[in-house]
Amino acid sequence: MTDHARHYSDEAFAAKLTRISGLDGLFQSASRLYRILKSPQTPRWVKAMCLTALGYLVLPTDAVADIIPVAGFVDDAAMITAALAAITARWDGEDVANSEPEDMAS
């Protein structure tokens, strides 16, 4: 796992979801990663990738600071998209990834 995973917490994720709620694609992809992370069916290596990507998302001082309008979320979207692509290419967990959210970091 990378250093970004250290920054992940359910509380930080919930706060970030509130901030990105207007960015529907990023919101939906991050929510999908969260569902994958929280499922007991998910293998450890997939959880590690989810933690890394979500940790990067919640970290405000990543490659492009989130305080920069629009551009601040481009790198976050790229990280989330790359993580989902890598996971879905190597793991058949569509039932978990597409399940209904139970309790999104409340």
Locate the domains of the chain by residue range: 3-97
**Which residues, other chains included, contact 25 with Cβ-Cβ below 8 Å and sequence gap of 6+?**
77
CA angle 25/87/33 to nearest 5° reads 45
Helices (H), 5-70: 10-20, 24-38, 44-58
- Under DSSP, the state recorded for 68 is S
Q: Is the pLDDT of residue 4 over 80?
A: no
**Lowest mean pLDDT across 28-37, 60-69, 96-105:** 96-105
pTM: 0.70
Determine the Cα–Cα distance for residues 24 and 28; give it in Å rounded to an integer. Answer: 6
Residue 18 has pLDDT above 80, yes or no: no
**Average pLDDT, whole number, for the chain?**
81
The pLDDT tens digits of the residues spanning 35-75 come to 999 999 999 999 999 999 999 888 877 777 767 767 777 88
